[in-house]
Structure 1
């Protein structure tokens, strides 16, 4: 997906606070399905319908569980702008908002397999890494080396080398991949995201609205700062 621009950010915080139903920064038309009040609830429902998926949700979360703000990233490991966000924006979010206890950040799956043929395999690999509490090291490696594995006819052997780099237990990894359980979980998340009107990556569910596309930290700061002040009075 193309990156967002700052054109939709005219008016600053007043515009953000006025758009209680939908946020779409950089896009002139809001998706009719991206009504804000239900987005976070749908994301939580998508991510945690059962005990196993709830545990895997925790493994792909960053930040304090009781943080006043929760951000859900809907992502595709083969998406170039998801890689850009991971490498250029997420480190700032982590330093300024996640580590400080202001934001809990949660990764949700939306592999766009019609455009990205290796995305499904990458997401299954990452979810099985989450089963070993190693999601974030694999997340970082998948995006760092996206240009290598995305072009392969079979990325499996390449993923095995990444598994060794992240110190995954290969036996547990193979059993997880062969069971097909994470494939079902990924499909459930993808379907729920689609029902919420989210069909492109990266997309971000931020409390009461949707931020679609890549955005630099300069776009994120006023959004999160205003929400934090609103929720905490600070």
Structure 2
């Protein structure tokens, strides 16, 4: 499993409290072959004894923001299921999930109001990872996060690197209208702080590899087969009580 870069020093103490303790299931999941989704015979799936032991943690489910103004989310704020993804743009298996699995989840569950997807930037592979994370946030400020996400995860994209010129090219490909603003936003303190908050949340629940997921508080690690996510989402939807929120779509949920 790839070794991430050192954890950045937090500007303030984590406030998760008992969440860290109850996240033992996620800690266990990210420690097993999280970067080997193509070996299902050795990878626990939702519904197996290992997954059931990890269980659903209500405290982890509360990490869902359900904020209609969240530009790095898609789907209704009152969706019965929220999938939180902690990912890195330099992570090959994150790209696999983005290309092979996520579009089907969007078509099947986001579009009918069952699922909301909330992205958390979790750059763990160095400076280019961090730059790409800030750039994705900057694209989001102009309503183009998911378009940037698609361009950055296109087959072969990460091999081209995420230098300044390349990030600007990805923003252009994503349809970001004001590229000068994009460049300023990417370099801003606001972008750095937003990425740091996501990182702190990921480290706070014990995530150490990408991609890592929470589905209504149930941890799933790695770019697992579509069937794993389907079972987890349908089980969570069956168990979910009405949220009773405003039901607004997040910006960019197309």
TM interval, short-chain normalised: 0.7 to 0.9
Specify every segment of 5 or more residues in structure 2 that has no aligned partner in the other structure, as ranges.
1-33, 243-254
1:216 equivalent in alignment to 2:237: no
- Kept in 2, the 8 Å contact 1:13–1:226? The answer is no
Higher helix share: 1
1:39 maps to which residue?
60
1:90 equivalent in alignment to 2:130: no
How far off its partner does 1:223 sit?
Answer: 1.5
Distance 1:14 1:74 in 2: 23
1:121 maps to which residue?
131
Matches of residues 37-76 of structure 1 in structure 2 within 5 Å? 37-42=58-63, 44=65, 55=69, 58-76=70-88
How far off its partner does 1:15 sit?
Answer: 4.7
Distance 1:2 1:18, change over 3 A: closer
1:198 equivalent in alignment to 2:210: no
TM-score w.r.t. structure 2 length?
0.72
How far off its partner does 1:104 sit?
Answer: 0.5
Distance 1:218 1:14 in 2: 13
- Kept in 1, the 8 Å contact 2:131–2:186? The answer is no
Specify every segment of 5 or more residues in structure 1 that has no aligned partner in the other structure, as ranges.
24-34, 49-53
1:148 maps to which residue?
159
1:32 maps to which residue?
none
Distance 1:16 1:206 in 2: 16
Q: Can you list the C-alpha shifts for 1:179-228, whole angstroms capped at 9, x where unaligned?
A: 22111110121012101111111001111211011111111112211222
- Kept in 1, the 8 Å contact 2:84–2:214? The answer is yes
Q: 3-state DSSP class of the match of 2:84? A: strand
Q: 3-state DSSP class of the match of 1:158? A: helix
Distance 1:16 1:67, change over 3 A: farther
1:109 equivalent in alignment to 2:118: no
2:35 maps to which residue?
2
Count how many residue pairs are aligned between Structure 1 and Structure 2: 204
CA RMSD of aligned residues (A): 2.5
1:170 to 159, 179, 182: 179
Runs of 4 or more, structure 1, over 6 Å off, are none
How far off its partner does 1:149 sit?
Answer: 2.8
